[in-house]
Structure 1
Amino acid sequence: MNRLMDTPGRLARRLLPRRRGAAAERLPAFAVPADAIAALPDPAVFRQTLLQLIAEAERRIVVVALYLQDDDGGREVLEALYAAKARQPALRITLYVDWHRARRGLIGQAHSEGNAGMYREFARRLGDGVEIRGVPVQGRELLGVLHLKGWVIDDAVLYTGASLNDVYLARHGRYRLDRYHLLRHRGLADALAGFVERQFAGNAAVPRLDTPTAPATRALLPAIRELHQSLQSASYAVPDETPPADGVAVTPLLGLGRNGNALNDTVLALLQEARERVILLTPYFNLPRPVRAAVGHALRRGCRIDIMVGDKTANDFYIPPGQPFTTIGLLPYLYENNLRRFARAHARQIASGQLNLWLWRDGGNSYHLKGLLVDDHAALLTGHNLNPRAWSLDLENGLLLRDPARRLHAMHEAEWAELRRHAERLADYRALESPRHYPPEVRRLLRRLSRVRLDRLVNWLL
């Protein structure tokens, strides 16, 4: 019986082995002028920039996102894409979204044909000039999704962890904050576009979603297995350019699975090589065991570490009091419990100011930031949530920026200062709400999960 009760914990430990990072400074890279890299300040500017780039496109638009949603924001982007095609008939426009996510409704809502219904409706009205394909990373959504980022528009790369809907695009008075970076470099754009062209275009596992009929997932399973195996060994085509003294080395990185994962290895390498300062951003405080260990080692080396997460009320799964509660609403409380345990274990470093835990909150808006800033000369732009699911299951990518001349230092500091404007530093773990004060349905579910130690497995899967 005890062995059965321990199963979730033992399973999680097997799925999250200890790893060693590969030295980040030895990775091949594109040499990108510092003035070709810019951080966009907020979702409104991100939306404006995206629509402007689409309107000005002449050769290609390649969008890879978890989803483009059937709402006003998603429709605005899709209309802009069709309008761009009408203006420039030679323009090639391709969207890749997660296959499973596109074919279902929102969690907790009634069954529907999902966003794919909107794609088909646009194609019926406006033609097939915008090609939309679904990418199944695994046969089931629970086992892995398409989480690649980086949109290529001609020779520009717009990199963000955001998807495309009302809240990410700051429509109707609410926003979900992410990070937004614009890099203008043809080689980098070619590498990102070339990767999806090689892996997805014409692949039997990646059918179109904008046609009247689409195959059932079951019929795709053999092709999905082949695609998954191919992606596990895939990488971006990156030269080994030496940037000038005032330039930036940019390396696109791919990650899928626990073994041979270049993105995971780089996350660990950055943490292991940090000597002075680390800023870590994650929307869901649920660090994989190797990352927690690397953070602990960095603290013991004397590094100052700032970790910013969203307050539980800024989590996209949070259900405000008075609204009908569903099980998915438990997640923000699980993440807050993780943060409480972490803060309690590192009380001494928090008290001394070596470790700073920041909670972001801005009214009814939500927080979706990810990434790392290390020692003022390295940054990781990524959609990787830095949680066990991203570490092992989802198809992820990122851009490593190495900046020995610190030409991007002012840009990073401005971004960090703006984030802290809506964040509060935790004095200690007692600053977080006590589980005794959680809503009754949350307390009941937490007791039920912890009784059989399933909270660990839930953390890993979600």
Structure 2
Amino acid sequence: MISLKFKQIKCQQYLINLPKVFQSVSDINILYSTKDFKKILLKKISQAKSIIYITALYLEKDDGGKKIMHALYAAKKANHFLDIKIFVDWHRAQRGYIGSNTKLTNAEWYCKLSRLYPNINISIFGVPINTREALGVFHLKGFIFDDVLIYTGASINNVYLHMYDKYRYDRYLLIKNIQLTTIMKQFIDNILLKSNAINLLNVSNRPKTIKLKSLIKKFRFNLKNTSYNFLNNATNNVLSITPFIGLGKKNNLNNLIINLIGSTKNNIIICTPYFNFPSILVKIITKLLYNGKKVEIIVGDKTANDFYILPEKKFKIISILPYLYEMNLRFFVKKLQFFIDKKQLIIRIWKCNDNTYHLKGIWVDDSWQLITGNNLNPRAWKLDLENAILIHDPKKELDNQKCYELKCIRTYTNIINHYNELDDIHIYPIKIKKIIRRIRRIRLDKIINQIL
């Protein structure tokens, strides 16, 4: 018990010693829906005066992507001095969507747009985090509009923007803070744009990935030693924010997450779309429970996973993933059923018709919250370039917004009271069952959990 208390104090001290950026409470707003996100995104594009920097995993060639791109070109046409730069994953942009029959890639579509607007220059860069997509992707998040940051785990396509009937639910934070946007822009300018591994996607003469191999390896090595650089200008008694970035197992963001969870005094809430925690997080969460802390985990139902395919639809191998995540969750719940019975561990499953769930974040006690694109899984922990915004709110100035956001998140959730409420492999579709048993027999499931 003394050892656990000491570790908790050490984690709390880590958070207290972090550099922080002062944040006015009137300049921070939480958005609560996909439609709010689309509305404010289009508004900020039209209002930007000097800078628009967009970083996302992808900007899709569907109606949602087209709406954003045409809005960007209109903004640039209206203001020739507007600096618009878009950064997406190099590999993802040059392949089709998994399961799609279309041969036109996002990169080829970007080229078509450049020809459609020949006198309007918008730069779209591909960022390769590793030589292959399976070994790491560009998962940096954040849309910068002058002194305003929209931070979300969302990328840009139909479902993230709720263009039609279906939506993909995420978190959205609107922050007005010139120091924060300067910090994030400087990282892009000084680290990303100065690397020869980064290349334009909206040009026809893109280099082949194989020719960039050595540059990509050097770029990845350099990224492992980078961070957001800034001076502390806030005390621990005021509302403040701290941006984090990380790549590789031992990085600043991973260290933050470990200390943030470990600092819990009373209760913690965790959102993740794919239940596949790194082993170290499972260990810390289990210790919290044994130490009397209250833990709530909100995770998407397997049918709310973007890889889920209805059993009657054409089978694709990628469709086993939601089932693997559910198996992970069932094992976790079964192992900790004692704490569920005590109402100390609360597991909520999000499901809303055939919409999908993409929320990530951590709320600790009443003082700290983290919004991130990090899925809190082994892939994010080791392979992908991730970032996050940590909020310290010692006076509970954001309490109303925080509580309403959590209320919205919980609206379409059901509490799991027993592990038997989660489907077992015996009732999975026959093809899913056969493949999972085959990969478990050769222990391939453990490898899959590390890279997906």
**Same fold by TM (over 0.5)?**
yes
Q: Secondary structure at the match of 2:29?
A: strand
User: How much has 1:108 moved relative to structure 2?
Assistant: 2.6
Cα distance in structure 2, aligned partners of 1:297 and 1:409: 27
8 Å CA contact 1:317, 1:329 repeated in 2:
yes
Q: 1:189 aligns with which of 168, 175, 181?
A: 181
User: How much has 1:406 moved relative to structure 2?
Assistant: 1.2
- Runs of 4+ displaced beyond 6 Å: none
CA deviation string 1:103-154 (max 9, x = no partner): 0001133473510011101101113521100000000000000001111101
Equivalent residue letter for 1:251: T
User: How much has 1:51 moved relative to structure 2?
Assistant: 0.2
Q: Does 1:268 align with 2:268?
A: no
**Identity across matched positions, percent:** 39
Q: 2:207 aligns with which of 210, 215, 234?
A: 215
8 Å CA contact 1:32, 1:243 repeated in 2:
no
Q: 1:126 aligns with which of 112, 117, 136?
A: 117
Within a 5 Å distance, the mapping from 1:148-159 to structure 2 comes to 148-159=140-151
Q: Secondary structure at the match of 1:23?
A: helix
8 Å CA contact 1:66, 1:97 repeated in 2:
yes
User: How much has 1:65 moved relative to structure 2?
Assistant: 0.4
Q: Does 1:357 align with 2:352?
A: no
Within a 5 Å distance, the mapping from 1:84-95 to structure 2 comes to 84-95=75-86
Cα distance in structure 1, aligned partners of 2:323 and 2:301: 10
Cα distance in structure 2, aligned partners of 1:302 and 1:38: 33
User: How much has 1:199 moved relative to structure 2?
Assistant: 1.1
Equivalent residue letter for 1:223: L
Hey, what does 2:358 align to over in structure 1?
Answer: 368
CA deviation string 1:230-276 (max 9, x = no partner): 1110111221112484x3121100110012x1110010101111010
Hey, what does 1:40 align to over in structure 2?
Answer: 31
Within a 5 Å distance, the mapping from 1:337-348 to structure 2 comes to 337-348=327-338
User: How much has 1:202 moved relative to structure 2?
Assistant: 4.1
Hey, what does 1:458 align to over in structure 2?
Answer: 448
Q: 1:139 aligns with which of 116, 128, 131?
A: 131
CA deviation string 1:4-53 (max 9, x = no partner): xxxxxxxxxxxxxxxx9681221111111122111101000000000000
Hey, what does 1:7 align to over in structure 2?
Answer: none
Q: Does 1:180 align with 2:172?
A: yes
Cα distance in structure 2, aligned partners of 1:109 and 1:79: 24
Hey, what does 1:6 align to over in structure 2?
Answer: none
User: How much has 1:222 moved relative to structure 2?
Assistant: 1.4
Hey, what does 2:40 align to over in structure 1?
Answer: 49
TM-score, normalization by structure 2 = 0.96
Equivalent residue letter for 1:99: W
User: How much has 1:203 moved relative to structure 2?
Assistant: 2.3
CA deviation string 1:318-374 (max 9, x = no partner): 001210011100000000000000000010100111000000000010000001000
Q: Secondary structure at the match of 1:146?
A: coil
Q: Does 1:416 align with 2:409?
A: no
Hey, what does 2:390 align to over in structure 1?
Answer: 400
Hey, what does 1:303 align to over in structure 2?
Answer: 293
Hey, what does 1:99 align to over in structure 2?
Answer: 90
8 Å CA contact 2:327, 2:424 repeated in 1:
no
Equivalent residue letter for 1:95: I
Cα distance in structure 2, aligned partners of 1:358 and 1:53: 34
CA deviation string 1:142-169 (max 9, x = no partner): 0000001111101000000000000000
Hey, what does 2:106 align to over in structure 1?
Answer: 115
Q: Secondary structure at the match of 2:37?
A: helix
Hey, what does 2:3 align to over in structure 1?
Answer: none
Q: 1:58 aligns with which of 43, 46, 49?
A: 49
Equivalent residue letter for 1:365: N
Cα distance in structure 2, aligned partners of 1:111 and 1:361: 29
8 Å CA contact 1:100, 1:136 repeated in 2:
yes
Q: Does 1:227 align with 2:227?
A: no
Equivalent pairs, count: 441
Instruction: Return 5+ residue gaps in structure 1 as ranges.
Output: 1-19
Cα distance in structure 2, aligned partners of 1:40 and 1:432: 31
Hey, what does 2:371 align to over in structure 1?
Answer: 381
Within a 5 Å distance, the mapping from 1:277-356 to structure 2 comes to 277-356=267-346
Instruction: Return 5+ residue gaps in structure 2 as ranges.
Output: 1-9
Cα distance in structure 2, aligned partners of 1:107 and 1:129: 30
Cα distance in structure 1, aligned partners of 2:223 and 2:45: 29
Cα distance in structure 2, aligned partners of 1:238 and 1:309: 34
Cα distance in structure 1, aligned partners of 2:234 and 2:145: 25
User: How much has 1:200 moved relative to structure 2?
Assistant: 1.6
Hey, what does 1:257 align to over in structure 2?
Answer: 248
Q: Secondary structure at the match of 2:346?
A: strand
Cα distance in structure 1, aligned partners of 2:373 and 2:116: 33
Equivalent residue letter for 1:451: R
Q: Bigger CA drift: 381-390 or 401-410?
A: 401-410
Equivalent residue letter for 2:389: L
Cα distance in structure 1, aligned partners of 2:386 and 2:37: 21
TM-score, normalization by structure 1 = 0.94
Give RMSD over aligned pairs.
Answer: 1.3
User: How much has 1:213 moved relative to structure 2?
Assistant: 1.3
